[in-house]
Amino acid sequence: MNPGGVSAADRHVDGVVEMMLDATQRYREPLTAERLFGWHAAMFPTGRSGMTPIAVGAWRDDRSGPTQVVSGPMGSERVHFEAPPAERVDAEMTTFMQWFDRQTPAILC
């Protein structure tokens, strides 16, 4: 039963709250791919970002082309950023997570 005047939480809000609680309450624990994938799954419980299906809890792939930030009308698009190829993501994320875990004590001071 819904309390009067209070609306039910959106499933996307619940996922963001779960992710933020994990990040703030378990901040001393290592950042791992499994933990990042859990956050990703919590934020995208339907496996979609809007109307677009996404690979939840996994590194991206390039099956639908390179990942880009694009603006402008069709035919006159402007690419602002193109992410590294998908085959580099695992190694790049491993490097990032190792760096992040070394920085955490400095961030907390």
Q: Per-residue pLDDT tens for 62-102? A: 998 999 999 999 999 999 999 999 999 999 999 999 999 98
pLDDT for the residue numbered 13: 87
pLDDT band at 50 (very low <50, low <70, confident <90, very high): confident
pLDDT of residue 1: 53
Give the pLDDT score at 52: 86
Handedness of CA 59, 30, 12, 80 (dihedral sign): negative
What's the distance, CA 109 to chain centroid?
26
Mean pLDDT, the chain, whole residue set? 87
Residue 4 has pLDDT above 70, yes or no: no
Which pLDDT does position 7 carry in this prediction?
62
Encoded tokens for 41: 């799954």
pTM of the model: 0.74
Confidence of residue 49 (pLDDT cuts 50, 70, 90): confident
- Residues in CB range of 45: below 8 A, 6 or more apart: 11, 12, 15
